[in-house]
């Protein structure tokens, strides 16, 4: 079945440093979604990418979808303590299931 791998598993950064998490799928995706889960909370939808090579920005967050629609990345510029949490990618393939990556836990030192 479809597998979605996410790296790194954990990342410690100093406040103000940049952060990137990468997502790779074993199959071509119809779209990819990104979610953020704060400690003790539930996943919150951030964005969806649909087109090959698509790039979207939300303030300090930049999301990319690979040309082959099998990989994606989330980059945060100048991290803040409010960015702390686990970031998940989730891929939709031709079927109706949504497969989540294992998540990247971001910790920010003030």
74: contact with another protein by CB under 8 A: no
Q: How many whole angstroms separate alpha carbon 88 and alpha carbon 79?
A: 17
Dist. CA 23–CA 32, nearest whole Å:
10
Distance CA 38, CA 65 (A): 24
User: Nearer to another protein by C-beta: 16 or 45?
Assistant: 45
**Using CB under 8 A, which of the segments 18-26, 52-60, 72-80, 94-102 binds another protein?**
94-102
Question: Whose Cβ is closer to another protein: residue 14's or residue 59's?
Answer: 59
Q: Which two tokens stand for residue 2?
A: 């479809």
Q: Tell me: does residue 21 bind another protein (CB under 8 A).
A: no
Nearest C-alpha neighbor of 44 from the set 4, 83, 7, 78: 83
Per CB under 8 A, 73 contacts another protein: no
The footprint of another protein (CB under 8 A) covers 1, 6, 30-31, 33, 42-45, 47-48, 88, 90, 92, 96-103
């Amino acid at each position: 079945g479809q597998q979605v791998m996410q790296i790194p598993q954990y990342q410690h950064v100093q406040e103000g440093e940049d952060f990137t998490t990468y997502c790779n799928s074993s199959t071509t995706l119809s779209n990819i979604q990104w979610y953020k889960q704060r400690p003790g909370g539930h996943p919150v939808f951030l964005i969806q990418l649909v087109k090959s090579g698509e790039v979207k920005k939300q303030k300090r967050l930049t999301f990319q979808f690979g040309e082959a629609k099998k990989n994606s990345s989330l980059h945060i510029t100048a991290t803040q303590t409010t960015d702390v949490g686990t970031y998940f990618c989730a891929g939709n393939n031709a079927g109706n299931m949504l497969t989540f990556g294992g998540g990247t836990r971001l910790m920010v030192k003030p």
